[in-house]
Amino acid sequence: MPPAPGDREARRDDVSRAVWQVLADKGFGGLTLRAVAAAMGVSTGMLMHYFPTKRALIAHALDLLEKRTAERPRRDRPADGLATVRAMLLDILPLTEGDTARNRIWVSSWDLALADDGLATDQADRYTRLRSTLRPHFEAARGLGEVPAAADPEQLAATAVAFTHGLVVQALFDPGRFPEDVQIAMVDDFLASITPSRPARR
């Protein structure tokens, strides 16, 4: 029997929580109606009122990932230049349990996205936006002399995103090797390495 409209509204949050839990445990590869139903202690039949197809379940999961990423708490942006870049990179890393779950789900989504032209374009656009968000702060850093005058802020943003996402993956697989303080020190060393006052080598 389908749930009454009021119940249905009330249950939406429960469903999202269960979807998130399944994603955090098993990734998109383990996201099935059956797994979500089991996490909620309901029948798959009940869940089909929310997600008539696997595709609808995946679409909801991706929306939830976007939404939770957009709504996550963030550090203050302390000032122009590299201090703000630092805050933005730290906001990406898996430093807390919640950050770890979100990152684990993002990494999992790459398999799905690489197999689907539309999702791959969405992910490429997401990277373009992320670089665009960092770029003005690298421009400001250049104005402040925090990065070399000849540096290209767009390339610095691409390098910073590369370093940060690669650190995310290593830290997810080996949290003992990459605890919070090690991740933060690596970001600080990375930012220190792009500061200038040395002869160009190339």
In the complex, which residues of this chain contact a copy of itself (CB under 8 A)?
25-30, 104, 107-108, 110-115, 120, 123-124, 127-128, 155, 158-159, 161-170, 172-174, 177-178, 185-186, 188-190, 192-202
- Other CB atoms within a 10 A radius of the CB of residue 146 amount to 20
Q: Is the CB of residue 72 less than 8 Å from the CB of residue 102? A: yes
The residue (of 13 and 174) whose beta carbon lies closer to a copy of itself is: 174
The residue (of 11 and 33) whose beta carbon lies closer to a copy of itself is: 33
The residue (of 48 and 158) whose beta carbon lies closer to a copy of itself is: 158
Angle between helices 5-26 and 33-40 (to 10 degrees): 110
Sequential DSSP letters for 100-163 = HHHHHHHHHHHHHHHT-HHHHHHHHHHHHHHHHHHHHHHHHHHHTTSS-TT--HHHHHHHHHHH
The residue (of 43 and 132) whose beta carbon lies closer to a copy of itself is: 132
Name the minimum Å distance from CB 196 to a copy of itself. 7
Name the minimum Å distance from CB 72 to a copy of itself. 20
Kindly tell me the sign of the dihedral angle through the C-alpha atoms of 170, 96, 71, 58: positive
The residue (of 55 and 197) whose beta carbon lies closer to a copy of itself is: 197
Name the minimum Å distance from CB 37 to a copy of itself. 18
173 HSE (CA, 13 A, CB side): 7
Task: Give which of 170, 164, 98 is closest to 131, Cα–Cα.
Answer: 164
Name the minimum Å distance from CB 64 to a copy of itself. 17
Sequential DSSP letters for 62-76 = HHHHHHHHHTS----
Name the minimum Å distance from CB 16 to a copy of itself. 20
The residue (of 71 and 189) whose beta carbon lies closer to a copy of itself is: 189
Name the minimum Å distance from CB 104 to a copy of itself. 6
